Amino acid sequence: MKYLLKVFVCLLAVFLLLKFVIHLLDDGHEITYNIGNFKVTESYDADDDNYNFELKHNKFNLIFDVTADYNKASNVLDKINYKKIDGYECVMPIFKNDDILTDIICKKEDIVYYAHDLDNEKINKYAKEMEKYGYNQNDYKDNAKKTSLSSTTTVYQDNILENHYLALESYKGLDLYNSDNMTVNLFDNDVYKKPISIFTDKYYVVADYSSEYTFKIFKVVNIINGTEKEIRSYDEISFDSVVQGVVDDEIYIFDKDARIQYKVNLEYETVEKVSENGDIKYYNGKWDTMSLTDALNDKKFDNYNANISGYDKADKVGKYYYIYEKQGDKYLVYKTYNKKVSQKTYLFSTTDINSVIYADEYIYFRDGNTFYYWSNDGIRKVLENTELEFNDDISLGVYVK
């Protein structure tokens, strides 16, 4: 009996070990199940604990996703509350353990909205009804208090996330925001326009605007702690230059006067000549070349090239596509799950199409004089700067640690 018991214990241990290894190696799943009249297709990606759902009921079809740690479990959607409201079809999904992981989702034609973006009395009444399931409309509203740091700058400290480091250009350098706010002065005099500057990873890189016509020094600031260093070029570089883009933390700059393309390597602290007068490197998801004419006309790299026509801008970031549509003096920004754009989810509007920063599950953007971030929990203000009313050259940088 003792021998059989030992064999049983060993076999049980091997079984549990194999089960544990299989669980660790599980990179996701795709399954289909029914909840009431809805057919649910659930896709799980273990890399980022992301669940994607497609709900189908008669002609109604809705795609949405949430991020949640259910220990790689499947069938995590438990209930679906569905109602037609004022031309919209609205859904309140409820997950395992009665979790509420998203705002009420409403669809009209092929556009999906979150309830917090719809100022609709009937939808607000429905939201009130959903409180019995643990839903709270206030979770998706921005209630942070503002703090004035100066006559021009206001920070919403409650909305600055713990592991997000923000940096806002100033006329003399950089203002840094996290748990402790600090100022880094790089120049003795105010510099109102700094076209040769860029944020990449945890660094801010800017030409030495203390010089007059040409420069040899790039000033570099770590936006986590404000430490500074300099990278020196052997060549004099004209201020009539353009930052073309960043690939693998290497910055590409084109000197339009000398017609030379340079590469600044932050790790090795070097400035290397890449091309001269021709064969100018270009990146749009893969390496190519651009013409001298394009370089002289300030053509920039396109790191998020989505190749979707019919929009003012289209980016591909990870598994998602983001499309931009001009409406008046703003751009409406949508998320979609495929290039067909058969269904698009409204996220936010921006006055500056080049201000958008993709930071993990968050998207930072500028609208007027204010910088915000978007997440599945709604839109939050982080910084206001009244100087943006007169000078839109002030850029925001974000690093997620």
- Give the pLDDT mean for 90-105: 96
CB 105 within 8 A of CB 141: no
Is the pLDDT higher at 125 or at 17?
A: 125
Helices (H), 221-296: 292-296
DSSP 82-133: EEEETTEEEEEEEEGGGB--S--EEEETTEEEEGGG---HHHHHHHHHGGGG
Question: Computed over its alpha carbons, how large is the radius of gyration of the chain?
Answer: 25
Average pLDDT over residues 269-285: 92
Q: What's the pLDDT at 18? A: 43
Residue 287 has pLDDT above 70, yes or no: yes
Q: What are phi and psi of 39, to 5 degrees?
A: -95, 125
pLDDT at 4 over 80: no
Q: Which strand (E) or helix (H) includes residue 235?
A: strand 228-238
Kindly report the average pLDDT of the chain as a whole number. 91
Measure the N-to-C terminal CA separation of the chain; round to a whole number of Å. Answer: 56
Query: Per-residue pLDDT for 170 more than 60?
Result: yes
The pLDDT value recorded for residue 6 is 54
Contact, 47 vs 62, CB < 8 A? no
Across 45-58, average pLDDT: 93
Mean pLDDT of 154-161: 94
Say if residue 351's pLDDT is above 50.
Answer: yes
| Whole-number Å distance between alpha carbons of 241 and 108 | 47
Residue 388, classed as helix, strand or coil, is helix
Per-residue pLDDT reduced to its tens digit, 364-389: 999 999 999 999 999 999 999 999 99
**DSSP labels for 350-368?**
ES-TT--EEETTEEEEEET
Instruction: Give the pLDDT score at 80.
Output: 97
Q: Is the pLDDT of residue 245 over 70?
A: yes
Q: Describe the strand order of the beta sheet including 378-385 as a list of residue ranges.
A: 147-148, 153-155, 378-385, 370-375, 362-367, 357-359
- Categorize the per-residue pLDDT at 13 as very low, low, confident or very high, splitting at 50, 70 and 90: very low
Section 263-282 average pLDDT: 93
Q: pTM of the entire structure?
A: 0.91
Q: Is the pLDDT of residue 104 over 50?
A: yes
pLDDT of residue 22: 39
Tell me the average pLDDT across 7-13. Answer: 47
**pLDDT at residue 98, rounded to an integer:** 95
Structure confidence at residue 14 as a pLDDT band (50, 70, 90) = very low
Residue range 178-197: mean pLDDT, rounded: 93
Q: Could you tell me which of 49, 109, 43 has the C-alpha nearest to residue 343?
A: 109
Instruction: Tell me which of 104 and 152 has the higher pLDDT.
Output: 104
Q: How confident is the model at residue 236 (pLDDT cuts 50, 70, 90)?
A: very high
Tell me, what's the pLDDT at 88?
97
pLDDT at 391 over 60: yes
> Does position 23 have pLDDT exceeding 70, yes or no?
no
Q: Tens digits of per-residue pLDDT, 110-127?
A: 999 999 999 899 999 999
16 band by pLDDT with thresholds 50, 70 and 90: very low
pLDDT of residue 179: 81
CA distance 291 to 376: 41
Q: CA–CA separation, 62 vs 88, rounded Å?
A: 12
CA–CA separation, 41 and 74 (whole Å): 11
- Range 83-99 average pLDDT: 96
Fold for domain 147-400?
A: Neuraminidase (2.120.10)
Q: Position 329: which residue type?
A: D
Whole-number pLDDT of residue 2: 57
DSSP 17-71: HHHHHHHHH--EEEEEEEETTEEEEEEEETTTTEEEEEEEETTEEEEEEEE--ST
Q: How far is CA 272 from CA 96, 192, 232, 265, 366, in A?
A: 55, 28, 10, 8, 34
Higher per-residue pLDDT: 208 or 9: 208
Parse the chain into domains and list their residue ranges. 26-140, 147-400
1 vs 262, which has greater pLDDT? 262
